Amino acid sequence: MHLKEGCSLLLRVRKPSVPFVLNTAQSLNHSLQNVKSERVLREIDVLRKLKYEKDISLALEYFKYVANSSSFKHTIYTYQMMIERLGREGEMDAVQYLLQQMKLEGVSCSEDLFVSVINSYRRVEASEQALKTFYRMQDFGCRPTVRIYNILLDALLSENRFTMINPLYSSMKKVGVEPNVYTYNILLKALCKNDRVDGAQKLLVEMSNKGCSPDAVSYTTLVSSLCKLGKVKEAKELAMKFTPLLPVYNALINGLCKDCSVGEAVQLLGDMVNKGIRPNVITYSTIINGLADSGNVELSLAFLAKMFVRGCSPNIQSYSSLIKGFLAEGRLHEALNIWDKMIRDGILPNIVTYNIVISGLSSLGNMNQAFYLLKQMNINDCPPNVVTYTTLIGWCARSGDLTRATETWNKMITQGCRPNVVTYTAMFDVLCKNFMFDQAHSLLEDMVMEKCSPNTVTFNTLIKGLCSGGRTDWAVKLFGQMESYGCAPNITTYNELLDGLFKANNFAAAFELVANMKKSGMELNSVTYNIMIYGYSCADMIDEAVKVLGQMVVRGMKPDTFTLNILLDAYCKSGKVEFAIKLLNSATSLGFSTDAVGYNSLIKGICECKDLEAAFFYLHRMIDEGISPNIAL
């Protein structure tokens, strides 16, 4: 694929569309012609017009026209209708304006109206503004009840505004509004979401002491939270203290499955049935998913059959879990059979199912089918999301398929789907593999402009790609810029750059980087030591390489076959075959071993020393160890 100079291969992310703005200058001749012909309007006619006018700006102009005419005086119901419509459109400034008009005109406000306003603020994720509106209720002569407190508490919870919840609850009790079970359940969720399960357990006791019996939601919330924190045993003990409930059992079974205790979850299912509690589709689907994830897909299939026998119809999650399980085992045929059965049963795949199959096909290398499925998603009115596109671009990156990667990227942007950091990173990978470093750099700038922050993995990918493409100078520069992007290098970053520098024979820069690593206190891993041993060997500094091997062993890291092969090759190339033989014998006595590569280096070195007898000895030794000679010998 060729590009003209200065042209971009990839489409840029589109800027977000302009928010909805009321167009009050719009002509109303057609919309208001019926009003002009009437001397007096009935409330029902005004409400009907406000409700069924599709254009919100025309509805608002109609509202204003009526207000300024002598044919009708707005009531609490027409105000509420207009406020609800504006709220659904997110036009909250207009909502506040109408509330103020109601106050000026002396129109009484109902609690329903404030409920509508608070729900509108919740939809636009502005719970703080909802709270301010709530505190204005008394200015309108409206006293809050437990209902509106609950709605407001729930809005605050949805935005994790934990610091606002407790003061509001205290205010509620102070004014004499008694909390009900719904209030307590919101507070329980808030405590659990804030990892304060102990506080939630105390609240459960307080709830019972005040004569408000906990319900299924109360117990399920607490049991689920304990399971998420890994306290499955404690959750089970709590659940057994009260009358067993289906949602609680489901929460426990889910916790056990996530804790890799699927066998115990199956036993709990049997306990449910013995106690007369009928498992539902959630129960079975959770078990099926747990079994499939643990590699027991045959048993998960048996549970699907059991569902049918017990008259419980599987849902999309049941089938998706099975498909995922078969694909994880590479059993594509069985996975597609389940897919076909799901569709025959009238269950259409959703975005999660499509993504599971596309991911499975990609991992198995069936990319033609994966891209075919991508086309089918749009045909079946199930638009791909960022996970879909990222999966496909990621596969393209692994195979270096630039054409498909760019086509997929551009299709994603055209569809208005915004890439995330994983998508960008996969695209960097494929660009670097095709030596399109300028394009990668341009994309990095676009990424930052789009407020998508690169992470350390992103930089590792770029640095690896630059080093592999012989641009270690650029990789070093990028390494130095990481901090300005808010990223800190990790051991993988150092390893990629160090490997690139050694392979480019830039020993001075490599040794400087090693010193930098030690100075920064970076914890070296076995990969780092192998790279250093390789680098010192390439620089004909074998003694230094052996010292690094010693450091590696002292730090409790076991040298692997690659480590041994590097040193064997280095000794043989420098003519020190006897040292190579000693190293191999010492390594063998310590339980280490080499492979065909190591033996090739040793035998080649021995042959160059004209010692054919020794060469044949190590050839036979190699065969005795079960290592087949290859063509290199």
What's the pLDDT score for residue 284? Answer: 93
How big is the chain, counted in residues? 633
pLDDT in tens, 185-201: 999 988 888 888 888 88
Residue ranges and CATH numbers for the domains of the chain are 26-143 (1.25.40.10)
Q: Residues 81-102: what's their mean pLDDT? A: 84
605 has a pLDDT exceeding 60: yes
Specify the higher pLDDT residue, 75 or 386: 386
CB 61 within 8 A of CB 95: no
The closest alpha carbon to 254, from 231, 282, 286, 217, belongs to 286
Q: Residues 129-144: what's their mean pLDDT? A: 82
Average per-residue pLDDT for the chain: 85
DSSP structure string for 214-250: --HHHHHHHHHHHHHTT-HHHHHHHHTTS---HHHHH
What's the pLDDT score for residue 630? Answer: 67
Q: Residues 570-574: what's their mean pLDDT? A: 83
The confidence band for 217, taking pLDDT boundaries of 50, 70 and 90, is: confident
Let me know if 133 is exposed, middle or buried by CB neighbors in 10 A (0-12, 13-18, 19+).
buried
What's the pLDDT score for residue 24? Answer: 35
Q: Tell me the three state secondary structure of residue 341.
A: helix
Of 35-44, 394-403, 619-628, the poorest mean pLDDT is in 35-44
CA angle (454, 455, 456) in 5-degree steps: 135
pLDDT in tens, 293-343: 998 999 999 999 989 888 899 999 999 999 999 999 999 999 999 999 999
The closest alpha carbon to 481, from 515, 445, 507, belongs to 445
What's the pLDDT score for residue 234? Answer: 84
What Cα–Cα distance (Å) separates residue 169 from each residue in 144, 150, 182, 195, 475? 13, 9, 13, 19, 56
pLDDT in tens, 145-175: 899 888 889 888 888 888 888 888 888 888 8
CA angle (147, 149, 155) in 5-degree steps: 105
pLDDT in tens, 502-547: 999 999 999 999 898 888 888 899 999 999 988 988 888 888 888 8
Can you tell me the distance from the alpha carbon of 406 to that of 466, in angstroms, rounded to the nearest whole number? 19
202 has a pLDDT exceeding 50: yes
Q: Supply the pTM of this predicted model.
A: 0.72
pLDDT in tens, 3-44: 344 455 566 665 443 333 333 334 444 444 444 444 577 888
Percentage of the chain surpassing pLDDT 90? 34
268 has a pLDDT exceeding 90: no
Percentage of the chain surpassing pLDDT 70? 93
Highest mean pLDDT among 45-54, 141-150, 488-497: 488-497
The confidence band for 571, taking pLDDT boundaries of 50, 70 and 90, is: confident
Q: Report, in this order, helix, strand and coil percent for the chain, each rounded to 5.
A: 70, 0, 30
Q: 557-590 burial, b if ≥16 CB within 10 A, otherwise e?
A: bebeebbbbbbbbbbbbeeebebbbebbeebeee
The confidence band for 498, taking pLDDT boundaries of 50, 70 and 90, is: very high
Specify the higher pLDDT residue, 467 or 567: 467
pLDDT in tens, 173-188: 888 888 889 998 999 9
Q: Residues 383-397: what's their mean pLDDT? A: 95
Q: Residues 616-622: what's their mean pLDDT? A: 81
What's the pLDDT score for residue 631? Answer: 54
